[in-house]
Structure 1
Amino acid sequence: MKHYQEVIGLIRAGVIPALGCTEPGAVALAAAYAKQAFGDMDIAEGQITVSVDPNVYKNGLAVGVPGTGQAGLAIAAALGFLIGDPGQELSLLSGITPGLLEQAKVMTQTGKVSILLNDKQGLYIEVIAKAGDTTARSVIAGNHTKLVSLQFNGTDIISAADNIASTARSKFCGDDVSLGELINAVEAAPYAELVFLEECVSMNLAAAAAGLTGRLGMAVGAHLQDLISENVLANDLVHYAKILTAAGADARMSGETIPVMSVAGSGNHGLTATLPVVAVGERMNISREKTIRALAVSAAVTLYIKNFTGSLSALCGCAVAAATGASAAIVWMLDGTTEQINGTIKNMIANLTGMICDGGKVGCALKLATAAGVAVETALLTLKNVVVPCSNGIILQSTDATIRNLGLVSNPGMVHTDKIILDIMLEKSKVFLNPDL
């Protein structure tokens, strides 16, 4: 883990392209695996049942599915099954055609796709496809792309036991490695090992540009830009980072067919972990190589934190993980000391830990704007040696121990909160489905 080759390999595995919200994307992927196991299936005679954990359900309830004009997990599952190409992972829905979309709509409208809520803790998606006496079952668990079980008529094609080694390799932290060692590994890596992150910059900036020019979603980024043009807000570094990051979320959460580079299985995490860093790099005239290396620092810190907070929780991971990664990267990029990098992580955790996740939706652009602005502002304050004392709240002298405390706040601390959030959202959805209630 302490060698740069392993760390860069883990960053590569955790930074991948994604189209649309990754919870519907993961459901589509699980359905594609089931289709792969099933082979030919007459949809008119078949049934697809999808069972998801509360957080996948929450994040898929109101977010647009790219290329469909619809929201929800059912249409994603139908399309994933029809496309049937799990090799595309979280970019699977880029394979939508008008014909497939019409078939998927028929499937959902005729009750061929059922979405069930289970009580699993942590990311868990099970898809069961049945037609006559034939059954295929797939399970994705732990993260958005990790297939842990695939069965055909009850016989394992892939089992959880087959994935033990893979799970061990994907572990990003533990008692044998510290956050500092991960950053040291990024610093030691030859630049040639990091140039793959160039795609992060181009892809996520393209999403931000689309959000701005198209005034997509809630147009949070575009409206912030308008306020600068009207001389209401300052055209400063903090607002530039907020505009880019919010505009990327505006594009992504609106359901447009616009890919972004995800981090830790989330496109919004990817936007938050990268665009504030890019904004600072541009405005501060930082070299391209140093900016790219800073993005690796951001990804490493984000993935490290997510290993403690979990893939999905009641905490907004864009705030507590991705923005913290961005802030650490900005301090690193501006030649901050190790103590200052640790300080900005503590400051971010002291500041944004209370931000909740209430599902994926266009309003996420507001949270990403807040997280991006705080990431930049906190980095700049920390470089002035403004650091919250370890006597405060959940902050400890050790940054690694502070992150572990954050993990405890997430789980078990916020488990009941998560349930209440979901209950509220489910009750509200009844009103939207039945306006007369």
Structure 2
Amino acid sequence: MDKTVYNAFVELLGSELRLAMGCTEPIAVAYAAAKAREVLGQFPERIEMYCSGNIIKNVKAVTVPNSGGRRGLEVASILGAAFGDASLELEVISRVKDEEIARLQKLLDKDICHCHLETGKDNLYIRTEVFHGADSALVEIAEKHTYITRIEKNGERILSQEPLHLLKSDMSFLNLKDIYTFSKEVDLKDIDNLIVRQIDCNRNIAEEGIEKPYGSQIGRRYLGMYGDSDYRFKAIAYAAAGSDARMNGCALPVVINSGSGNQSITMSVPIILYAKEKGIAHEEMIRGLVFADLVALLQKKYIGDLSAYCGATCAGCAAVAGIAFIEGRDLKIIGETVVNAISTIGGMVCDGAKSSCAAKIAMSLSTSFLAYDMALNGLSFKAGEGLVVDDIEESIARIGRMGREGMRSTDEEILNMMLGY
């Protein structure tokens, strides 16, 4: 493989497979607030939070970790501003103490934080403006959960960065063939620490969700209904359970993919359980996870991190594609598995982060296992059926275009209904 492309893959995995605590949208809000307080130099008397619709819908119904079970933008903002450590980025509120959680309600009662819908911006957009006396500070985040594009203090700009889409750090080099080659050839010392951390963290939160009754207990119910006699049932249950825990306040960290812990859990946990069940060697499991991580990112390069398109769809077929990769299937079978899955449930909507995400994960993985079985038996969907064409890459791109461009109005209507308009 060309060295430049090889290095781009390694760099991409390093930038995407990051440690995060809780749902990434409220954590990004907390991070922006903590950074703004740091710039201001003191706790603000007033916080004005301006967020895109996709941030609002993903914060509205999810429990913020270390908040005493509370939800919402105001909770994430004040928790970050009062007790967060901005240097920890997506673990910004991981060190909040019990006595600080007890003080949170008193700060909320002061009504110092006001949240506003910001239109005409990227789907992932946060701007925090904080005030104390005559002093003010501003922190703006766009496109990625920790990518700060602007910092101001007292109206003076002290940091300004180009939007990510104008920089060279894009994913245009991603394609299924090169992902396959890279996953086969990558020197494990270049990525092993990233993938091992993903295994450890995501397995831990999945086990936590099985052991304890978080949220709607989708994972526990799935296991109760189908048992674990087939690794596929167990894989679906444990992946859903990881989301049960994460959406409902569990403070365990996860390694994210495409800015999402749910998607990373969905993509990785089935492969981890499959490898254990089948006695797969560590190296082969690592390579399968690398392949799956990159297949998920391949789809999201067309869709973006946040949209009306449920990311569990991308992650579910990526997980099963990773299992197919470990089993030595060729690109035709793997590609058909992906296309079969996304052309079946590619229209599943994202109506915010919440307990039902776990059920969507279960449905995505179930469909993806069916899609794989279809491909193995020569029953894949054919060109001309819906958005499917002869070229696998183009089929993936078409579904991605539908998710990003075609579902914009869906995204707007979902937000309008959630906000009561």
Q: 2:379 aligns with which of 379, 386, 399?
A: 386
Report the CA distance between 1:63 and its aligned residue. 0.5
Residue 32 (structure 2) aligns with: 30
Work out the CA distance in 1 between the residues paired with 2:222 and 2:419. 32
Q: 2:256 is matched by which residue type in structure 1?
A: S
Regions of 4+ moved over 3 Å: none
Unaligned runs of 5+ in 2: none
Report the CA distance between 1:167 and its aligned residue. 6.2
Q: 1:100 is matched by which residue type in structure 2?
A: E
The correspondence of residues 253-402 of structure 1 with structure 2, limited to 5 A, is: 253-319=247-313, 321-402=314-395
Distance verdict in 2 for CA 1:399–1:154, change over 3 Å: farther
TM-score by length of 2: 0.93
The answer to which of 282-291 and 238-247 deviates more is 282-291
Work out the CA distance in 2 between the residues paired with 1:386 and 1:277. 24
Work out the CA distance in 2 between the residues paired with 1:227 and 1:341. 29
Report the CA distance between 1:177 and its aligned residue. 4.8
Given that residues 63 and 249 in structure 2 are in contact (C-alpha distance below 8 angstroms), is that contact kept between their aligned partners in structure 1?
yes
Distance verdict in 2 for CA 1:406–1:13, change over 3 Å: same
Q: 2:187 is matched by which residue type in structure 1?
A: P
Q: Secondary structure at the match of 1:94?
A: coil
Residue 79 (structure 2) aligns with: 79
Given that residues 194 and 293 in structure 1 are in contact (C-alpha distance below 8 angstroms), is that contact kept between their aligned partners in structure 2?
no
Residue 133 (structure 1) aligns with: 134
Work out the CA distance in 2 between the residues paired with 1:84 and 1:63. 18
Residue 22 (structure 2) aligns with: 20
Residue 180 (structure 1) aligns with: 177
Given that residues 21 and 252 in structure 1 are in contact (C-alpha distance below 8 angstroms), is that contact kept between their aligned partners in structure 2?
yes
TM-score by length of 1: 0.90
Distance verdict in 2 for CA 1:282–1:64, change over 3 Å: same
Given that residues 2 and 185 in structure 1 are in contact (C-alpha distance below 8 angstroms), is that contact kept between their aligned partners in structure 2?
no
**Cα-to-partner distance string for 1:304-325 (whole Å, 9 max, x where unaligned):** 2112101111110111x21222
Work out the CA distance in 2 between the residues paired with 1:78 and 1:133. 20
Work out the CA distance in 1 between the residues paired with 2:372 and 2:156. 53
Distance verdict in 2 for CA 1:293–1:177, change over 3 Å: closer
Residue 89 (structure 1) aligns with: 89
Q: 1:7 is matched by which residue type in structure 2?
A: F
Unaligned runs of 5+ in 1: 429-437
Report the CA distance between 1:426 and its aligned residue. 2.0
1:159 aligns to 2:160 (yes or no): yes
Q: Secondary structure at the match of 1:361?
A: coil
Given that residues 175 and 298 in structure 2 are in contact (C-alpha distance below 8 angstroms), is that contact kept between their aligned partners in structure 1?
no
- How large is the RMSD of aligned CA atoms in angstroms? 1.9
Work out the CA distance in 1 between the residues paired with 2:404 and 2:226. 40
Work out the CA distance in 2 between the residues paired with 1:394 and 1:154. 49
Q: Secondary structure at the match of 2:30?
A: helix
1:211 aligns to 2:213 (yes or no): no
**Cα-to-partner distance string for 1:405-424 (whole Å, 9 max, x where unaligned):** 12221222111111111222
Report the CA distance between 1:365 and its aligned residue. 1.0
Q: Secondary structure at the match of 1:64?
A: coil
The answer to which of 349-358 and 90-99 deviates more is 90-99
Given that residues 317 and 365 in structure 2 are in contact (C-alpha distance below 8 angstroms), is that contact kept between their aligned partners in structure 1?
no
Q: 1:90 is matched by which residue type in structure 2?
A: L
Report the CA distance between 1:2 and its aligned residue. 5.2
Q: Identity over aligned residues, as a percent?
A: 29
Distance verdict in 2 for CA 1:86–1:397, change over 3 Å: farther
